[in-house]
Amino acid sequence: MNIKYKLSSIALLAAALTFSSCEKALEVDPRQSVDIATALNSRENVNAAITGVYSRLKSARVYGRDMIALPEALSDNGRATNRSGRFVNESNNQPNAHFIHWQNYYYAINDINLALEAIPNLNVTPAVTDAEKATWEGQLQFLRALCYFDLVRSYAYDPGTAISSQDKGGVPLLLNGVKTLEDAVLRLPARSSVADVYKQVYADLQAAEAKLGNLTTTPSIASKQAAQGLLARVALYNKDYATAKEYADKVIATHGSRLLTAGGYVNGWRNRVNPESLFEVAFTINAENIGVNESLQTSFTTIVIAGNRSQTGGFGDLVPTEALLTDLGIVMTKTATGASTSGTAAVAIASRSTDVRNLLYEIGTAGRGAAFVETTKFLGKNGSINLDNVPVLRISDMFLIRAEALSTPGSPVLDEAAARLDLKKIKENRYTDYGASTAAVSDLLLSGQDLLNEIIRQRRIEFAFEGHRFFDLKRLGRDIVKSPATLPFSDYKILPSLPVRELDGNPNLVNNTGY
């Protein structure tokens, strides 16, 4: 065998068989770590293994930062301030400035596969109950579905929007754990089709739905509603609008009341756990603190305490574009040269619309240079700055998923009247005067593409700086219109390169076009 393939396999095995105790590499607490290849011989170790998979999501390459920040930088929502050099290339859509989480997710998937294989053979006293087994397996299948969904939407075209001449397929689909060097050397998988990856994600989420209990006050643990909510999102990406509606219906029926009112929206983001969360990644102890260079707080804002510009914390590396501020209803004063906040420091916010979502945007400090409007969605709330829970699924998404499924032309569940009701539900809980506004009347007349466009616009506002915008534009096949240059959907840079290490170690793996 070619030596480079063998060396790559050895590296894969070394990384995949154990939860690293290196806090810097994975931002996990080593006390929660366990060698799942050999030590899944007790309830405690199974629970520790599952905790370790959740911890993998906390990496800065995953939900610790990149899965939230990069979709804003790559899209038309975020603009790099160049205070630290971070996000500049991504904001300009430069080659090779993209997602780099391939290995993080595949390490997690291997951990999951090994745990799923070990659970049926666990021989302990008292014996494992069916309820215990279901809880363990349900969480692991939810997490595997999330990993594969994030991989396929990052590294491949979405169903129905592929550029055929550039389409290289999905991502490798691995459902068995790597246990030995021989396993690693022999396993050189090709990319599975996008359809096959989605089929597996569906299967895992439907299994998780059947096995997991209802959502509690701890949304950092997978639940039935989290599985249903993720499947609603997955189905929307898959343009399977009937399933998207079906699963959004399920979540709304049981947890629709979690949608915050206009009066409670801002405080919801100030809570340790966002009341709208169906699933979130929790950062609760100092060992999980990503720190001043890479956390979401430092990436998005210089502010330490909302409303207080006297203390500087982070870098505020990524700030809203002028187009996003316009959609948020924020009007800036002009500088002496007539430039707006898009190209120079903000002087002041001249006015705001009645959309309460814009209250989570304020002018940052001048401690890192010129001040700009920044988002304060992520301010440390677990006893330390840069330590914040990260919502992955919120209940508002279910209303907007359903609205889109009901309003997309050609949808088998097309029902514009019902879509308008979901749009109304979101707006009346986000605009303080919506019921008495002219917008409420004009929204009743929306139909066709105008209705769909308004739903997509509300998605932009609702989930700004939560890691949705790039993926929404990509799955819709839309160009990314931004300064200094628009990125056409046909441009190869819509997709990232696969890791060179993986390509060098696997002759069956084909890179994306352009790299």
413-461 tens-digit pLDDT: 999 999 999 999 999 999 999 988 888 999 999 999 999 999 999 999 9
- Helices 395-407 and 448-462 cross at an angle (nearest 10°) of 160
Judge if the upstream peptide bond of residue 71 is cis by omega within 30 degrees of 0: no
**What distance in Å separates the CA atoms of residue 417 and residue 156, rounded to the nearest whole number?**
34
Q: 369 and 321, same structural domain? A: yes
Query: The CATH number of the domain where 252 resides is what?
Result: 1.25.40.390
* Structural domain includes residue 453: no
Predicted confidence at residue 383, as pLDDT, reads: 60
Write the pLDDT tens digit of every residue in 257-266: 999 999 999 9
Q: Do residues 293 and 215 both lie within one domain?
A: no
Q: Are 130 and 113 in contact (CB under 8 A)?
A: no
pLDDT in tens, the chain (515 residues): 454 444 444 445 444 444 333 333 323 333 344 455 457 888 999 999 999 999 999 999 999 999 999 999 999 999 999 999 999 999 999 999 999 999 999 999 999 999 999 999 998 999 999 999 999 999 999 999 999 999 999 999 999 999 999 999 999 999 999 887 777 777 899 999 999 999 999 999 999 999 999 988 899 999 999 999 999 999 999 999 999 999 999 999 999 999 999 999 999 999 999 999 999 999 987 788 888 889 999 999 999 999 999 999 999 999 999 999 999 999 998 654 443 444 445 568 999 999 999 999 999 999 998 899 999 999 877 667 778 899 999 999 999 999 999 999 999 999 999 999 999 999 999 999 998 888 899 999 999 999 999 999 999 999 999 999 999 999 999 999 998 899 999 999 999 999 999 999 999 999 999 99
Among candidate residues 196, 195, 231, the one with its CA nearest the CA of residue 210? 231
Predicted pLDDT at 17: 43
Same-domain pairing of 247 and 372: no
Count the neighbouring beta carbons within 10 Å of the beta carbon of residue 483.
14
Q: What H or E segment, with its residue span, contains residue 195? A: helix 194-211
Helix, strand, or coil (residue 273): coil
Range of the domain at 25: 3-283
For residues 220 and 336, state if they share a domain. no
Are 253 and 294 in a shared domain? no
Environment class of 122 (CB within 10 Å of its CB; exposed 0-12, middle 13-18, buried 19+): middle
Contacts of 195 (CB under 8 A, 6+ apart): 159, 170
- Using left for φ > 0, alpha for ψ between -120 and 50, and beta otherwise, residue 22 falls in beta
pTM for the model: 0.92
**Residue 72 within a domain:** yes
Amino acid symbol at 216 = T
pLDDT at residue number 21: 31
Structural domain ending residue among the three candidates 249, 283, 317: 283
Tell me: do 129 and 105 sit in the same domain. Answer: yes
Query: 262 with 341, same domain?
Result: no
pLDDT value for 35: 52
Encoded amino acid at 26, one letter: L
In angstroms and rounded to an integer, the radius of gyration of the C-alpha atoms of the chain is 23
Residue 472 lies in a domain: no
* 271 and 319 share one domain: no
* pLDDT score of 239: 99
**312: β partners:** 303
Report which of 162, 148, 138 is spatially closest to residue 227, judged by C-alpha positions: 138
177 domain-assigned: yes
pLDDT at 109: 98
Which of 346, 370, 390 delimits the end of a domain?
390
Residues 260 and 294 in one domain: no
Q: Do 253 and 324 have their domain in common?
A: no
DSSP for residue 92: T
Domain count, the chain: 2
The verdict on 193 and 316 lying in the same domain is no
Within-domain flag for 171: yes
In a domain, 446, yes or no: no
Tokens of 141: 């299948």
109 found inside a domain: yes
Domain boundary at 363, 390, 417, which?
Answer: 390
What length is written for the chain? 515
Residue 160 domain-assigned?
yes
Which CA distances in Å does 453 have to 112, 448, 466, 471, 508? 39, 9, 20, 16, 41
Q: Are residues 367 and 242 in the same domain?
A: no
- Could you tell me which of 97, 104, 11, 15 has the C-alpha nearest to residue 497? 97
